[in-house]
Chains A and B, each alone.
Chain A
Amino acid sequence: MAENGIGAAVPRTEDHRFLTGTGDYTDDTNLPHQTYAAFVRSTHPHATFTLDTSAAAAAPGVVAVLTGADFAADGKGSLICGWAVTGKDGEPHKAPPHPVLAADTVRHVGDAMAIVVAESARAARDAAEQVEVDYSPLPAVASMREALADGAPQIHAEAPGNLCYDWEIGDRAATDEAFARAHHVTRLDLVNNRLIPNAMEPRAAIGDYNPASGNYTLRLTSQNPHVHRLVLAAFVQIAPEHKLHVIAPDVGGGFGSKIFIYQEETAVLWAAGRIGRPVKWTADRSESFVADAHGRDHESHVELALDADGRFLGLRVSTLANMGAYLSTFASCVPSYLYGTLMQGQYTTGAIYCEVKAVFTNTTPVDALRGAGRPEATYVVERIVDRAAHETGIDPAELRRRNFIPSDAFPYPTQVALEYDSGNYALALDRALELADYAGFDARRAEAGARGKLRGIGLSAYIEACGIAPSQVVGSLGAGVGLWESGGIRFNPTGNVLVYTGSHSHGQGHETTFAQLVSDYLGVPFENVEVVHGDTEKTPFGMGTYGSRSLAVGGSALVKAMDKVIAKGRKIAAFSLEASEEDVEFSGGDFTVAGTDKRMNIAEVAFSAYVPHNYPLDELEPGLEETGFYDPANFTFPAGTHVCEVEVDPETGVTEIVNWVAVDDFGNVINPMIVEGQVHGGVAHGIGQALLEGCTYDAGGQLLTGSFMDYTMPRADDLPDMTVDTTCTPCPHNPLGVKGCGEAGAIAAPAAVMNAVTHALGTSAIDMPATPQAVWRALGSQSQARA
């Protein structure tokens, strides 16, 4: 292995700037003549309203106060949902308009009604307070069940009964038949709690307009600058694509929340055009809580049918999924095609049926959050499997092993529309059990019991579909975009390399990983490789970073580009070395002529390509720069087993995680240090969901968890040290054999924690987050039941 090549734990290139305070986050930039924006947001969950902006407009330092009426007068469009899910009835989902600035009706607390632009951030905020809003409150509904009930307040005329879609996947009749011959049926009602993403960097945007050229520039916190540009150009129609430059500089975490095209950046860009000056907006955290798309929020009823040997015959799932007040950019696909399609888990379950009702409520829109549908699916599958194990008396590890898809059964077509490409589930389970000393658990439980503590152990054998994804597949399922990725390789005359990727790094370390890949593949010194991302005028059109896709799809695009570079380099070397092209080989950065000592380093080839004094120009173009676009043949399917061990204090209800083992199969690994870090972070997100985080609305739609004082983020002393290991079955269909690692922890962890907690408590009657109060109550109701 080369020192900085594929497989090496190379310290990150990007770290120096982050560690010295010289990163370049959106809020770190101020443009000449810049103004500042503040939004007037609804304090009501549902109301009609009128605005009086006269006092605000006259306030000191105010440049403009713009409303939904102004936006409409400019003929601009509304925000869109880019994935049309077709329901059981064959009809597309209901996607009511999502105004950039609400014009007459607000539908959730935080809905933006006006943008105030002023000479300073303080002046903008002060003036926003002076916009007089005359609300006429309407009945509001925050709960999905109440929203679906007869007589519920109607949130959109376009969505009768507040139903966005009623969708299904799988074979209902076959599943009913499987249940009819079941020896045992396990049933469970599960809540997948709503989460608030809380990337540490709040969203921010700076819009700029150049009247001389008619060009717009938007600098913002985005995971996918080209997608932002596409939507703002083609749908909202702020400016045509070629007149809109989108830059996503250093971005302080995304987790999905910075994929979406929101009200604020749209309004800021439009306002910049209106006033002819740059407009900057940076969310404060209170705004993030009401205006960043939330995640999860499912209620499910789950049934698992088993035969006498504990084999899974059928799985039946019925889910309500909260969409919030409007359909966010990719909201519709999360509880459908990223959820129902994962119900096979790692198992040979013979028949599966999953139906999902997506529901509008007077709450902040819900969209993808780290894992996006797959954590919810894993939670359903792994909780019911664990419950079945305890009901049937079969050890949870043994029950899983008994039902695993065998390692020789790949490619494996699932009951829910996917084809798993590779895996070895028993290998990961066995390794995890060994690292967790599963065999020694009973002794540890007894010892903990002697100390008055309840000890439990929980497994989660998760699977995810990543590397999103084949355009043909997602297109057939309703996606409005293709999901390939781009990569470019530009050799400079002096032999160093610029790498362009359409994916975006906001913590994942692409500047290091992609440089390792290119350095290794092309035989160029690591320090001679620079990765460029996050700028629509620098990189080829790309789809961005989410769904653990950057390396599997974007890295593969770079391989395509590098193969083109090598092919051209071979021609150049053949010409320069006076050899036949077929005799030129490439290895370790050198082109050599077979059977001779003639060689030419790729840096020399690059120099030659830019100094083509004697080139046969009709056969050979100057320059050494190539672009690749990669559209995968399939998703990738990372999988593995996580083991969580907890101790619960029955006196206080406090749950302590005393051990965590993660064994993941990510296929080949480029930088194991970065991969471990991704697992740590994902697990922490999942533990947060299971034990701490719970977004709560009151019945009327007021957000009760609107700050870090009310919404419990995982802190260092809430989390354990983690043991992280990997197994490897390479992905067979991408050139790197990689699968993706960014979401695995968040997908695996919640079920592992809750299986451990319910094991410790001896009851499954507890939902996430298993706060001390929830645990204490669960224990109390148990002792009451016994009394």
Chain B
Amino acid sequence: MPVDISLNVNGKAVSAQVEDRTLLVELLRENLRLTGTHVGCDTSQCGACVVHVDGRSVKACTMLARQAQGAAVTTIEGLAEDGKLHPMQEAFRENHGLQCGFCTPGMVMSALDLVARNPDPSGAEVREWLEGNLCRCTGYHNIVKSILAGANAMRGGS
């Protein structure tokens, strides 16, 4: 049963007709061609699909597109401004917080929600927060380092 939905994605109003079973991640990837949000599993474990819905991190594979009716969604594509990386993105780059890049968008989006809740997390707090984000490449060492550096930069540190 097709449903019409409208929402705001990365600051732009969008509308689409989707099946009632269409997932938010499918709307983003297939309808809007925002392919930075990835699908790494089918059980909501891996976190490659994390986006922000009304400012909070959400696994976009776990939410129906129609549930995002009227919401403000931010994806990885919505972070950099005028070609300049967000400080959290920049921290991942400087600290080699990514290798194959597949989990990276989810990691960055998840990290930003952590920092919104806890601007100065400890390494242990970062590791605990990342429970819902899997990475096979990095061993998390440099992801933790990146998030700590990104949080520091967002606090205005050097």
Identify the closest chain A residue to B105 (Cβ). Answer: A21
Contacts of B139 in A (CB 8 A): 680-685, 714, 719, 722, 745
In the complex, whether A16 has a CB less than 8 A from a CB of chain B is: yes
Contacts A253-B137, A681-B138 given; does A716 touch B127 at CB 8 Å: yes
Give residues of chain B (105-130) contacting chain A, Cβ–Cβ below 8 Å: 105, 108, 123-124, 126-128, 130
Give residues of chain A (32-85) contacting chain B, Cβ–Cβ below 8 Å: none
A285 and B123 form a contact (CB under 8 A): no
Contact among A11, A509, A676, A708 for B46, CB-based, below 8 A: A708
- Chain A, residues 253-276, CB within 8 Å of chain B (1/0): the string is 101000000000000000000000
- Chain B, residues 132-151, CB within 8 Å of chain A (1/0): the string is 01111111111110000000
Contact among B41, B46, B92, B100 for A19, CB-based, below 8 A: B92
Complex Cα spacing A199 to B102, Å: 9
A656 to chain B, nearest CB (A): 12
A205 to chain B, nearest CB (A): 16
Give residues of chain B (29-75) contacting chain A, Cβ–Cβ below 8 Å: 29-30, 34-43, 45-46, 48, 75
Complex Cα spacing A220 to B93, Å: 26
The residue among A23, A673, A709 with the most chain B CB atoms within 10 A of its own CB is: A23
Identify the closest chain B residue to A745 (Cβ). Answer: B139
Complex Cα spacing A508 to B100, Å: 7
In the complex, whether B14 has a CB less than 8 A from a CB of chain A is: no
Identify the closest chain A residue to B36 (Cβ). Answer: A21
- Chain A, residues 281-296, CB within 8 Å of chain B (1/0): the string is 0101110000000000
Give residues of chain B (85-99) contacting chain A, Cβ–Cβ below 8 Å: 85, 89, 92-94, 96, 98-99
B136 and A685 form a contact (CB under 8 A): yes
A349 to chain B, nearest CB (A): 32
Complex Cα spacing A722 to B103, Å: 21
A684 and B140 form a contact (CB under 8 A): yes
A16 and B77 form a contact (CB under 8 A): no
B41 and A285 form a contact (CB under 8 A): yes
Contacts of B127 in A (CB 8 A): 716-717, 719
B93 and A16 form a contact (CB under 8 A): yes
Identify the closest chain A residue to B135 (Cβ). Answer: A200
Complex Cα spacing A733 to B55, Å: 56
Contacts A255-B136, A708-B134, A722-B139 given; does A507 touch B100 at CB 8 Å: yes
Contacts A16-B85, A20-B89, A200-B134 given; does A708 touch B96 at CB 8 Å: no
Identify the closest chain B residue to A284 (Cβ). Answer: B42
Contacts of A15 in B (CB 8 A): 92-93, 98, 101
B130 and A713 form a contact (CB under 8 A): no
Contact among B45, B76, B99, B123 for A721, CB-based, below 8 A: B123
In the complex, whether B79 has a CB less than 8 A from a CB of chain A is: yes
Contacts A199-B100, A253-B136, A717-B130 given; does A708 touch B141 at CB 8 Å: no
Contact among B79, B136, B138 for A20, CB-based, below 8 A: B79
B142 to chain A, nearest CB (A): 6
A201 and B141 form a contact (CB under 8 A): no
The residue among B19, B108, B136 with the most chain A CB atoms within 10 A of its own CB is: B136
In the complex, whether A250 has a CB less than 8 A from a CB of chain B is: yes
Contacts of B105 in A (CB 8 A): 21
In the complex, whether A88 has a CB less than 8 A from a CB of chain B is: no
Complex Cα spacing A472 to B38, Å: 42
B90 to chain A, nearest CB (A): 8
In the complex, whether A14 has a CB less than 8 A from a CB of chain B is: yes
Complex Cα spacing A676 to B105, Å: 22
Contacts of B98 in A (CB 8 A): 15, 18-19
Main SS at interface, chain B: loop
In the complex, whether A674 has a CB less than 8 A from a CB of chain B is: yes
The residue among B36, B99, B143 with the most chain A CB atoms within 10 A of its own CB is: B99
In the complex, whether B82 has a CB less than 8 A from a CB of chain A is: no
Contacts of B42 in A (CB 8 A): 284-286, 707
B77 and A684 form a contact (CB under 8 A): no
Contact among A25, A28, A716 for B140, CB-based, below 8 A: A716
In the complex, whether A183 has a CB less than 8 A from a CB of chain B is: no
B40 and A285 form a contact (CB under 8 A): yes
Complex Cα spacing A713 to B98, Å: 18
Give residues of chain A (195-221) contacting chain B, Cβ–Cβ below 8 Å: 198-202
A707 and B43 form a contact (CB under 8 A): yes
Contacts A680-B142, A683-B139, A716-B126 given; does A19 touch B93 at CB 8 Å: yes
Contact among A27, A198, A716 for B143, CB-based, below 8 A: A716
B141 and A253 form a contact (CB under 8 A): no
- Chain A, residues 717-736, CB within 8 Å of chain B (1/0): the string is 10101100000000000000
Contacts of A451 in B (CB 8 A): none
The residue among B34, B108, B138, B143 with the most chain A CB atoms within 10 A of its own CB is: B138
In the complex, whether A251 has a CB less than 8 A from a CB of chain B is: yes
In the complex, whether A538 has a CB less than 8 A from a CB of chain B is: no
In the complex, whether B80 has a CB less than 8 A from a CB of chain A is: yes
A14 and B35 form a contact (CB under 8 A): no
Complex Cα spacing A303 to B128, Å: 42
Contacts of B79 in A (CB 8 A): 20
A713 and B134 form a contact (CB under 8 A): yes
B145 to chain A, nearest CB (A): 9
In the complex, whether A252 has a CB less than 8 A from a CB of chain B is: yes
A681 and B136 form a contact (CB under 8 A): yes
B101 to chain A, nearest CB (A): 3
- Chain B, residues 7-37, CB within 8 Å of chain A (1/0): the string is 0000000000001010000000110001111
Contacts of A23 in B (CB 8 A): 36, 101-102
A715 and B130 form a contact (CB under 8 A): yes
Contacts of A316 in B (CB 8 A): none
B35 and A674 form a contact (CB under 8 A): no
Complex Cα spacing A680 to B42, Å: 27
Contacts of A714 in B (CB 8 A): 139-140
A252 and B100 form a contact (CB under 8 A): yes
B101 and A14 form a contact (CB under 8 A): yes
Contacts of A677 in B (CB 8 A): 96, 99, 137-138, 142
Identify the closest chain A residue to B145 (Cβ). Answer: A721
B96 and A674 form a contact (CB under 8 A): yes
In the complex, whether A596 has a CB less than 8 A from a CB of chain B is: no
A251 and B100 form a contact (CB under 8 A): yes
Complex Cα spacing A286 to B45, Å: 12
Contacts of A713 in B (CB 8 A): 45, 134, 136
B96 and A12 form a contact (CB under 8 A): yes
A680 and B141 form a contact (CB under 8 A): yes
In the complex, whether A652 has a CB less than 8 A from a CB of chain B is: no
Contacts of A21 in B (CB 8 A): 34-37, 75-77, 105
Which residues of B line the A interface, CB within 8 A? 19, 21, 29-30, 34-43, 45-46, 48, 75-77, 79-80, 85, 89, 92-94, 96, 98-105, 108, 123-124, 126-128, 130-131, 133-144
What are the nearest 4 A-B pairs in CB distance?
A: A21-B36, A18-B101, A252-B102, A684-B139
Q: List 21 A-B contacts (CB under 8 A).
A: A15-B93, A18-B101, A19-B93, A19-B101, A21-B35, A21-B37, A25-B38, A27-B39, A199-B100, A200-B100, A200-B136, A202-B39, A202-B40, A285-B40, A285-B43, A681-B139, A682-B139, A707-B42, A707-B45, A713-B45, A722-B141
Q: Identify 18 new A-B residue pairs, CB closer than 8 A, beyond the known A17-B101, A199-B100, A717-B127.
A: A16-B85, A18-B100, A20-B80, A23-B36, A23-B101, A23-B102, A202-B39, A252-B40, A253-B102, A286-B42, A506-B100, A507-B101, A684-B141, A707-B41, A717-B130, A719-B140, A721-B123, A722-B139
